[in-house]
Chain A
Amino acid sequence: MASIPLKQTPDAPPAETLEQRFHRLAATWDEATAYLSSMEEASKHPAYQEIIGMGQAVVPLLLRDLQEQHRHWFIALRQITGAQPIPKEAAGNVPQMVEAWVRWGKDNGYR
């Protein structure tokens, strides 16, 4: 019996890694909210909400990006981890808020 040659299907696009997905969403969010002052309003953007939905797995990426880029991941980190390491007197001081979260990350086994 003659065999029927298998039809080659085109390769499916490679699945996006967690890191690639994060960077794509972060770039989308950054551009869409660059001119807003309200962190709360910016955090409602769908890309930001999708990042929050990635859960604990994205925390190391958030902490690294926060430290390197100072992008405002404070609400995402608070919502995912339930922690709030920022002292009241540091409210609004982005470098101090970043430092507080980076310290929290180290204390909690990230990096």
Chain B
Amino acid sequence: MMRLEDLFPGLAAGGYRITSPRDKDYNCIAWAAGDSRNWWWPDPDLEEEYWPPGHPRERTVSAFQGVFIALGYSVCSGEEVEPGFEKLALFADELGKPTHAARQLSGGRWTSKLGKAEDIEHALHDVAGEVYSSVVLLMKRPVPGTGPATSESP
């Protein structure tokens, strides 16, 4: 089995922590949206993936942005911790196709569900590179309980 550090070299330098065992039942977008029971992805005409109703099933930054806006997020510019807000980061490849999302923890580190593999805690850009490319969008919302309801989760 290939080591995480081989695929994500940044993790070796920045340090990371595995926070869950491998799990094939949910993925990064679900995890960023606070859902650990479903597999979220918008492949067109694919009936095996969840995507919130009413949002275009297309692999574009705007489609993902629209889903997270519906969950109470708005676009922001900085990745630093802002008290009272939680943030997420969307990664996309050089063609603008989303590849991954990470969610900020209260202490400023980030949490990622790596596809069908583990959840890890890491520095944001340490998972950038060949697999997920780079951060293209940052969003934030008030910490749940103080912001809009997330009624779109299945």
Residues of A in contact with B, size category = 20 to 34
Asked whether, in the complex, the Cβ of A37 is within 8 Å of the Cβ of B27, the reply is yes
Q: Does B5 contact A (CB under 8 A)?
A: no
A94 vs B27: C-alpha distance when bound (angstroms): 11
- Taking CB atoms, residues of chain B closer than 8 Å to A97 are 48
Secondary structure at chain B's binding surface: helix, strand, loop or mixed? loop
In chain B, residues 6-35, which have Cβ atoms closer than 8 Å to a Cβ of chain A? Answer: 7, 22, 24-30
Asked whether, in the complex, the Cβ of A94 is within 8 Å of the Cβ of B117, the reply is no
Residue of B nearest to A97 (CB): B48
Asked whether, in the complex, the Cβ of B115 is within 8 Å of the Cβ of A33, the reply is yes
Q: How many A-B residue pairs have CB under 8 A?
A: 80
Residue with the highest number of chain B CB atoms closer than 10 Å, among A33, A75, A92: A92
Q: Does B46 contact A (CB under 8 A)?
A: yes
Asked whether, in the complex, the Cβ of A37 is within 8 Å of the Cβ of B29, the reply is yes
In the complex with contacts A84-B47, A92-B48, A37-B2 CB distance below 8 A: no
Interface locus among A16-24, A48-56, A65-73, A103-111: A65-73
Interface locus among B37-45, B70-78, B133-141, B144-152: B37-45
A45 vs B98: C-alpha distance when bound (angstroms): 19
Q: Does B103 contact A (CB under 8 A)?
A: no
**Minimum Cβ distance to chain B for residue A71 (Å):** 6
In chain B, residues 71-130, which have Cβ atoms closer than 8 Å to a Cβ of chain A? Answer: 99-100, 114-117
Asked whether, in the complex, the Cβ of A31 is within 8 Å of the Cβ of B47, the reply is no
Q: Does B143 contact A (CB under 8 A)?
A: no
- Taking CB atoms, residues of chain A closer than 8 Å to B132 are 35
**Minimum Cβ distance to chain A for residue B75 (Å):** 22
Asked whether, in the complex, the Cβ of A34 is within 8 Å of the Cβ of B50, the reply is no
In the complex with contacts A37-B41, A39-B43, A91-B50 CB distance below 8 A: yes
**Minimum Cβ distance to chain A for residue B46 (Å):** 6
Given contacts A86-B47, A93-B38, 5 further A-B contacts (CB under 8 A): A35-B116, A38-B41, A39-B49, A94-B25, A94-B39
Residues of A within 8 A of B (CB): 30-31, 33-41, 69-72, 74-75, 84, 86, 88, 91-95, 97
